[in-house]
Structure 1
């Protein structure tokens, strides 16, 4: 977890009750960014013992709704969760192994890219995913 991270403080700041499952989920995602629900549930069970997958789903949904976690869904991948929120960063995804890496905004402030027509929308975010092969899966690795 990054320094200064306190799950209890973050929950209180957004008005969510501090519960052991919520703290365990936030800690699990902070420790292993871009985890899917099963990965988060496994980490939570290491901490708390028996916790249902539905309970983990419910906590993830509440934390995403409160802005404590971000849910991303790269094509062909299950939903992934990360604790880095509100900074308009993007992702690199390996086509072969599915590794996901954060990258900072590609061109300044949100929404990074200006569409040719906004169709009357007020745009506040652009989701950019770059695809390729990570160093382990790339042609030089064979």
Structure 2
């Protein structure tokens, strides 16, 4: 999905295509995740409360879960960290996590096509390869 589609009208069209109502809560959560890639649910809630001060953390969790199930958001689970959310979906990109500060960066598929990893042997048709790189970011490097 391109950034141009990540507008209120674009989000509304996607929600309608999934037979979901366009609500202030959903739009606030989508906007928060768009502006805070790899954010935790707590960070999404804090950002979304800028638009909807009464928004509860439980409501944010419900919206995040629903939008992830629909494929509008992607949930990633780095080791030793709460789940993170992003709007970049459908391109099978990976992530690099700094083991020093926890910073997360997107890493495009190394081969250039999904699923970008071909297993040496498998009886399954691979649809997604989820690679997590771990290292030290430039801010944490000595």
Say whether the fold is shared (TM-score over 0.5): yes
Q: C-alpha distance in 1, partners of 2:110/2:19?
A: 33
**2:102 maps to 1:101:** no
Q: Does 1:55 align with 2:59?
A: yes
TM-score w.r.t. the length of structure 1 is 0.91
Distance in 1 of aligned mates of 2:96 and 2:45: 24
Equivalent-residue separation in structure 2 for 1:14 and 1:32 (angstroms): 24
Displacement over 4 Å in runs of 4+: none
Q: Does 1:124 align with 2:111?
A: no
| Secondary structure at 1:93 match in 2 | strand
1:85 Cα offset (Å): 0.2
- Post-superposition shift, 1:116? 1.9
Cα root mean square deviation, aligned: 1.4
Could you state the TM-score of these two structures normalised by the residue count of structure 2? 0.91
- CA drift of 1:89 comes to 0.6
Unaligned runs of 5+ in 1: none
How many residues are matched?
138
